[in-house]
Amino acid sequence: MKLWLKKMRKGYGKKLVSIHAWNAWIVVILSVTGLMLIGGFWRETLGIGRVWLKWLHIAVGLAMLAPVVYYLFLASKHWKQLRNKPWQKANTIIVLALLIGWLLSGIILWQFKLAGPRWSNAALLIHDLLTWVGLPYIIYHSITRTRWLKDSTRRTFQVSEPSTQIPSVPAPNTPSSDTEESETRSTPAAMSNLRADKSFHHQGGQLQDLNRNKGSKIEKPQPVYTRRTFIRSAVGIGLAVTLGPTFVSWVGKNLKFDNSIDSMLENDPNQLVPLPQPLSASSPPIGGGAEGHFRVYTVTPIPSFSNANWSFRVDGLVERAQIWNWEQFVKLARTVQVSDFHCVTGWSVYKNTWEGIPLKHFLEKAGLKPGAHSVKFYSGDGVYTDAITLEQAQMDDIMIAVMHDGKPIPADLGGPVRLVIPQMYAYKSVKWLNRIEVIDSEHIGYWEERGYDKDAWLSGASQRFPNITGS
pLDDT of residue 164: 43
pLDDT of residue 162: 46
Average pLDDT score, the chain: 77
pLDDT at 163 over 80: no
pLDDT at 177 over 60: no
- 236 pLDDT band, cuts 50/70/90, is low
- 185 pLDDT band, cuts 50/70/90, is very low
pLDDT of residue 368: 97
pLDDT of residue 37: 79
What's this model's pTM, rounded to 2 decimal places?
0.64
84-113 confidence digits (pLDDT tens): 888 888 888 888 898 899 999 999 988 877
d(CA 48, CA 379): 20
d(CA 84, CA 322): 78
pLDDT at 288 over 90: yes
pLDDT of residue 252: 54
Interior angle at CA 384, CA 381 and CA 385, nearest 5: 130
pLDDT of residue 224: 47
pLDDT at 376 over 80: yes
pLDDT at 432 over 70: yes
Q: How far is CA 58 from CA 102, 269, 293, 427, 459, in A?
A: 11, 37, 25, 21, 22
Q: Which of 141-155, 218-232, 359-373, 441-455 has the highest mean pLDDT?
A: 359-373
pLDDT of residue 365: 96
pLDDT of residue 464: 44
pLDDT at 409 over 80: yes
Q: How far is CA 341 from CA 144, 293, 294, 390, 408, in A?
A: 44, 10, 9, 22, 17
pLDDT at 374 over 60: yes
d(CA 82, CA 21): 20
- 68 pLDDT band, cuts 50/70/90, is confident
Q: Which of 83-92, 157-166, 186-195 has the highest mean pLDDT?
A: 83-92
pLDDT at 249 over 70: no
pLDDT of residue 387: 97
Closest alpha carbon to 244 in 337, 151, 136: 136
Q: Which of 15-29, 60-74, 221-235, 376-390 has the highest mean pLDDT?
A: 376-390
Please compute, for residue 118, the number of CA atoms within 13 A of its CA located in the half-sphere on the CB side.
3
Residue 446, burial from CB neighbour count under 10 angstroms (0-12, 13-18, 19+): middle
At 136, which amino acid appears? P
Closest alpha carbon to 61 in 14, 111, 13: 111
pLDDT at 258 over 50: no
- 139 pLDDT band, cuts 50/70/90, is low
pLDDT of residue 175: 40
404-429 residues labelled b (16+ CB within 10 A) or e (exposed): bbbbbbbbbbbbbbbbbbbbbbbbbb
300-351 confidence digits (pLDDT tens): 889 999 999 999 999 999 999 999 999 999 999 999 999 999 888 778 889 9
Closest alpha carbon to 181 in 319, 6, 413, 355: 6
- 198 pLDDT band, cuts 50/70/90, is very low
Question: Cα–chain-centroid distance for residue 24?
Answer: 18
- 285 pLDDT band, cuts 50/70/90, is very high
pLDDT at 360 over 80: yes
d(CA 86, CA 75): 15
- 463 pLDDT band, cuts 50/70/90, is very low
- 170 pLDDT band, cuts 50/70/90, is very low
Average pLDDT over residues 407-412: 96
pLDDT at 161 over 70: no
Q: Which of 109-118, 209-218, 346-355 has the highest mean pLDDT?
A: 346-355
198-212, 332-346, 360-374: least confidently modelled range: 198-212
